[in-house]
């Protein structure tokens, strides 16, 4: 199999039979007594009342596959939009293609690529006014197309079947690559005899070659001018599916992505051997089992009365939450119009208008020739949603999960399905939502405890070697947690070293020796979130609540010092460019100053950062200029429909002239305005041997937590678990 076919397999290899069927059977109405007797009434102990995925293929990568996934298409053929934010349907994609085909730019199918084709969301004020049952707002498609090196942005009105807007972009940079482009560049080096000879000289059989398309960043050199470039580096897959651990170090092919020609081939790794790849295969089927190892018994969550959430088209309802959920080729998951029901008034109250992963930045920390350019922006360059592989039922998501497919457009506009792209499930990890036990001295004998159940929306994007597990978790107490889990395989560097005792200066390893001939290179991950907060309405303010030490005056108190909270409303954008500081801490509130609680506090939500890291690169370093949205951890901008992608609309080879930093430096007023909060989760990753040959998941998160939003604890009236509600089934009854 050649490299191209292997990449096809990697990108689409998991798609074939993952047909999801949602058996929405009526909930079984068993009385507690009946349910307890699971031998006779095995009702809930079987999987009948669960959401289903019909695939349980443990090893899908071995399946043959095709680019057009006809089976899944059939399932979505008759999808109709029912909400103004619903993604484009198969029929709408086909209509867009028909409209475009009448335009001279799109006459010949091999002269253009549609790098983005998604719903153009209606104006926010119209969406906010729209109510279920009303006619749908006019449907429009937003298109980013590349024609002969020029980026065109177009709008197609699907009601009139007209192109209503057409502009060419003056900005530097190119749109997100299409899957077809990523694949087609891998053929290019193989047409070059010098490349074949180079690979052979490294002792690699061309039949074992696997190559990756690596975005080349932008460094302002003459060779980058007016040309869309990509770098190709290759690996040997001989003896292990984990080819990432067998780099052909030092060989970099620079490719003209449009002409599909080799620009240059560099080889400065002639003396570096290919690592042997022994024991790097991570598949369960090939592991040598150690009989001494204690295994965990199978585990799963039981829901005697079935799931508590519903998915109606793209509207998810669970407990006190309601939100719109859609897959997006660039952002992955988009959460819209998230509202929480007030337990006192029963009113659905708005929290977020729109939240998603706006951009990622992954710079590697090795300045040498084959590595300096590795400064990936995974959403804008590769498409975070395009890289979201089908989730593996029972392992990526528990058995009680519901799966949602993505329906996206390929480079010529033909729709395709990204099956099982998102899962939704209720999670119970044995945690406590709130508790109090009265101690014996009061003689009151009160013990009240509530179990914590949450709703998780999950996606896992495998951007080549790295896997990002993206969760949005909703809690009944009003908190939203957004979590990033990093797993997958390190991008490693080949070396002559086999042991640390051969290394003269560890600093110039740029990483950690993980195995013979393998260095895990130090790198960062930054994930920047767009959070259009609408706390009880669109007009909000950002308040920095600074926690400061106050010294007491002499004689005032036996205490010398205490802490006080000093509130400061951000007037303009620059007031809200925030770098986190442990010794000068603040809380970060988004409040609606027009809405107050009964005792007069403005209602709000606060952003609670988790463990994070800041970028330490020089602000003038070209990758840092392009990723200037990581210069602060928090930013607040006034709402602007065209400012959603933190690195700019056109991120590929961008030069940093259209980033969040540039917008925020306009220093526009943000007090009592429709505002957008931006937050960046960061990781410094100094690899260690446990990350080899595949990484245990490392996570970080942030919370959006109600702050004076409710009058009191919103889950005060929630019931505890009662024994009768949780019948114990015999193990064999569980399906």
Of 184-192, 247-255, 404-412, 486-494, which part binds ligand NAG (CB under 6 A)?
Answer: 184-192
- For ligand NAG, the binding residue among 82, 129, 191, 435 (CB under 6 A) is 191
| Phi, psi dihedrals of residue 212, rounded to the nearest 5° | -125, 140
**Least distance (Å) between residue 115 CB and ligand NAG:** 19
User: Which tokens belong to 207?
Assistant: 């039949």
DSSP code per residue over 42-72: -GGGSSTTS-EE----S-GGGS---SS-HHH
Task: Give the separation between CA 651 and CA 382, rounded to whole angstroms.
Answer: 10
Point out the catalytic residue in the list 378, 471, 532, 534. 378
Q: If binding is defined by CB under 6 A, does position 226 make contact with ligand NAG?
A: no
Q: In terms of CB distance, is 670 or 715 closer to ligand NAG?
A: 670
**Least distance (Å) between residue 647 CB and ligand NAG:** 12
Q: If binding is defined by CB under 6 A, does position 193 make contact with ligand NAG?
A: yes
543-558 in b/e form (b: 16+ CB < 10 A) is bbbeeeeeeeeeeeee
3-state SS, residue 186 = helix
Among 589, 594, 547, 585, which residue's Cα sits nearest to residue 570?
589
Q: In terms of CB distance, is 200 or 300 closer to ligand NAG?
A: 200
User: Which tokens belong to 443?
Assistant: 């003689």
Of 151-159, 439-447, 635-643, 716-724, which part binds ligand NAG (CB under 6 A)?
Answer: 635-643
**Least distance (Å) between residue 6 CB and ligand NAG:** 12
**Least distance (Å) between residue 196 CB and ligand NAG:** 4
Residue 713 CA: distances (Å) to CA of 308, 478, 509, 603, 710:
21, 10, 53, 14, 7
Q: In terms of CB distance, is 164 or 665 closer to ligand NAG?
A: 665
Of 187-195, 243-251, 423-431, 671-679, which part binds ligand NAG (CB under 6 A)?
Answer: 187-195
Q: In terms of CB distance, is 69 or 659 closer to ligand NAG?
A: 659
Task: Give the separation between CA 36 and CA 356, rounded to whole angstroms.
Answer: 43
Residue 562 annotated as catalytic? no
Q: If binding is defined by CB under 6 A, does position 643 make contact with ligand NAG?
A: yes
Task: Give the separation between CA 155 and CA 86, rounded to whole angstroms.
Answer: 17
User: Which tokens belong to 364?
Assistant: 């590697």
Task: Give the separation between CA 145 and CA 127, rounded to whole angstroms.
Answer: 27
Which residues pair with residue 459 across a beta bridge? 422, 470
List of residues 6+ apart from 288 with CB closer than 8 A: none
Residue 621 annotated as catalytic? no
Q: In terms of CB distance, is 152 or 523 closer to ligand NAG?
A: 152
DSSP state of 631: S
Q: If binding is defined by CB under 6 A, does position 154 make contact with ligand NAG?
A: no
Point out the catalytic residue in the list 112, 466, 510, 530. 466
Q: In terms of CB distance, is 510 or 645 closer to ligand NAG?
A: 645
**Least distance (Å) between residue 312 CB and ligand NAG:** 34
Q: Kind of pairing, strands 492-494 and 673-685?
A: unpaired
Among 219, 171, 224, 215, which residue's Cα sits nearest to residue 621?
219
Q: In terms of CB distance, is 364 or 663 closer to ligand NAG?
A: 663
**Least distance (Å) between residue 192 CB and ligand NAG:** 6
- For ligand NAG, the binding residue among 501, 642, 690, 712 (CB under 6 A) is 642
Query: Would you say the C-alpha torsion 391, 396, 399, 404 has a positive or negative sign?
Result: negative
Of 59-67, 191-199, 332-340, 498-506, which part binds ligand NAG (CB under 6 A)?
Answer: 191-199
Q: If binding is defined by CB under 6 A, does position 206 make contact with ligand NAG?
A: yes
Q: If binding is defined by CB under 6 A, does position 190 make contact with ligand NAG?
A: yes
Residue numbers 490-529 binding ligand NAG by CB under 6 A? none
Residue numbers 307-366 binding ligand NAG by CB under 6 A? none
Q: Which helix (H) or strand (E) holds 547?
A: strand 539-551
**Least distance (Å) between residue 669 CB and ligand NAG:** 10
Residue numbers 650-669 binding ligand NAG by CB under 6 A? 663
Task: Give the separation between CA 698 and CA 703, rounded to whole angstroms.
Answer: 17
Task: Give the separation between CA 529 and CA 607, rounded to whole angstroms.
Answer: 12
692 by Cβ neighbours in 10 Å (0-12 / 13-18 / 19+) ranks as buried
Contact 509, 503 (CB under 8 A): yes
Q: If binding is defined by CB under 6 A, does position 92 make contact with ligand NAG?
A: no
Q: Which helix (H) or strand (E) holds 97?
A: helix 90-100
Q: In terms of CB distance, is 192 or 276 closer to ligand NAG?
A: 192
Q: If binding is defined by CB under 6 A, does position 670 make contact with ligand NAG?
A: no
Question: Count of residues binding ligand NAG (CB under 6 A)?
Answer: 10
Among 206, 192, 210, 202, which residue's Cα sits nearest to residue 253?
192
Contact 229, 637 (CB under 8 A): no
Q: If binding is defined by CB under 6 A, does position 196 make contact with ligand NAG?
A: yes
Of 71-79, 189-197, 211-219, 619-627, which part binds ligand NAG (CB under 6 A)?
Answer: 189-197
Q: If binding is defined by CB under 6 A, does position 530 make contact with ligand NAG?
A: no
- For ligand NAG, the binding residue among 300, 550, 640, 665 (CB under 6 A) is 640
**Least distance (Å) between residue 23 CB and ligand NAG:** 46
Q: In terms of CB distance, is 668 or 684 closer to ligand NAG?
A: 668
491-528 in b/e form (b: 16+ CB < 10 A) is bbbbbebeeeeeeeeeeebbbbbbbebbbbbbbbbbbb
Instruction: Give me the half-sphere count of Cα atoms (radius 13 Å) on the Cβ side of residue 158.
Output: 26
**Least distance (Å) between residue 2 CB and ligand NAG:** 6
**Least distance (Å) between residue 296 CB and ligand NAG:** 45
Q: In terms of CB distance, is 418 or 644 closer to ligand NAG?
A: 644
> Which residues does the annotation mark as catalytic?
378, 466
Q: For binding to ligand NAG (CB under 6 A), which residues are involved?
A: 190-193, 196, 206, 640, 642-643, 663
């Amino acid at each position: 199999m050649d490299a191209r076919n292997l990449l096809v397999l990697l990108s689409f290899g998991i798609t074939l039979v993952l047909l999801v069927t949602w058996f929405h059977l009526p909930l079984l109405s068993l009385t507690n007594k009946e349910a307890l007797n699971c031998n006779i009434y095995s009702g809930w102990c079987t999987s009948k009342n669960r959401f289903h995925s019909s695939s349980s293929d443990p090893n899908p990568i071995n399946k043959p596959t095709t680019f057009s996934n006809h089976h899944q298409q059939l399932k979505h053929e008759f999808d109709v939009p029912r909400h103004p934010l619903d993604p484009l349907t198969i029929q709408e994609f086909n209509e867009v293609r028909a409209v475009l085909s009448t335009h001279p730019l799109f006459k010949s199918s091999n002269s253009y690529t549609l790098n983005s084709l998604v719903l153009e969301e209606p104006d926010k004020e119209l969406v906010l006014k729209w109510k279920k049952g009303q006619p749908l707002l006019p449907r429009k498609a937003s298109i980013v197309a590349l024609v002969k090196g020029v980026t065109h942005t177009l709008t197609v009105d699907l009601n009139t079947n007209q192109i209503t807007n057409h502009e060419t972009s003056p900005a530097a940079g190119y749109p997100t690559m299409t899957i077809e482009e990523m694949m087609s560049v891998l053929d290019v080096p193989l047409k070059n005899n010098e490349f074949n000879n180079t690979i052979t000289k490294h002792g690699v059989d061309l039949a074992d070659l696997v190559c990756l398309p690596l975005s080349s960043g932008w460094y302002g050199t003459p060779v980058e001018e007016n040309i869309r470039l990509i770098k190709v580096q290759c690996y040997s897959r001989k003896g292990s599916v984990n080819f990432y651990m067998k780099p052909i170090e030092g060989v970099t092919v620079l490719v003209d992505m449009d002409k599909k020609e080799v620009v240059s081939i560099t080889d400065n790794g002639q003396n570096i051997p290919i690592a042997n790849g022994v024991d790097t295969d991570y598949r369960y089927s090939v592991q040598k089992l150690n009989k001494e190892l204690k295994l965990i018994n199978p585990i799963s969550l039981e829901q005697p009365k079935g799931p508590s959430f519903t998915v109606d088209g793209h509207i998810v309802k669970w407990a006190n939450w309601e939100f719109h959920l859609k897959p997006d080729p660039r952002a992955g998951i988009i959460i819209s119009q998230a509202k929480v029901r007030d337990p006192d008034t029963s009113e659905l109250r708005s929290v977020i208008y729109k939240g998603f992963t706006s951009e990622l930045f992954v710079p590697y920390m090795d300045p040498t020739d084959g590595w300096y350019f590795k400064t990936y922006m995974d959403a804008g360059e590769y498409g975070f949603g395009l890289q979201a592989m089908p989730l593996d039922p029972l392992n990526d998501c528990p058995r009680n999960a519901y799966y949602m497919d993505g329906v996206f457009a390929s480079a010529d506009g033909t729709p395709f399905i990204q099956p099982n792209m998102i899962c939704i499930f209720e999670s119970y990890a044995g945690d406590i939502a709130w508790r109090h036990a009265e101690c014996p001295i009061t003689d009151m004998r009160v013990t009240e405890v509530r179990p914590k159940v949450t709703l998780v929306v999950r996606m896992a994007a495998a951007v080549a070697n790295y896997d990002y597990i993206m969760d949005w978790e909703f809690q009944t107490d009003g908190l939203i947690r957004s979590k990033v889990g990093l797993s997958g395989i390190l991008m490693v560097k080949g070396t002559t070293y086999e042991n640390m005792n051969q290394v003269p200066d560890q600093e110039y390893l740029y990483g950690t020796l993980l195995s013979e001939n393998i260095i895990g290179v130090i790198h960062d991950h930054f994930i920047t979130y767009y959070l259009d907060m609408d706390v009880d309405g669109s007009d909000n303010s950002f308040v920095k609540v600074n926690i400061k030490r106050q010294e007491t005056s002499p004689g005032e108190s036996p205490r010398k010092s205490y802490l006080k909270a000093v509130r400061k409303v951000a007037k303009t954008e620059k007031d809200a460019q925030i770098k986190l500081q442990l010794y000068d801490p603040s809380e970060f509130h988004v409040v609606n100053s027009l809405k107050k609680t009964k005792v007069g506090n403005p209602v709000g939500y606060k952003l609670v950062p988790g463990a994070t890291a800041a970028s330490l690169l020089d602000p003038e370093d070209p990758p840092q200029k392009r990723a200037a949205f990581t210069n602060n951890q928090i930013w607040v901008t006034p709402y602007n429909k065209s400012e959603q992608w933190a690195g700019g609309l056109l991120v590929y080879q961008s030069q940093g002239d259209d980033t969040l930093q540039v917008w925020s430096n306009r220093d526009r007023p943000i007090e009592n305005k429709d505002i957008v909060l931006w937050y960046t989760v960061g990781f410094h990753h100094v690899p260690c041997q446990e990350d080899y040959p595949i990484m245990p998941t490392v996570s970080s998160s942030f919370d959006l937590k109600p702050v004076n939003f409710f009058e009191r604890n919103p889950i005060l009236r929630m019931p505890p678990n009662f024994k009768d509600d949780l019948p114990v089934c015999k193990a064999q009854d569980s399906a």
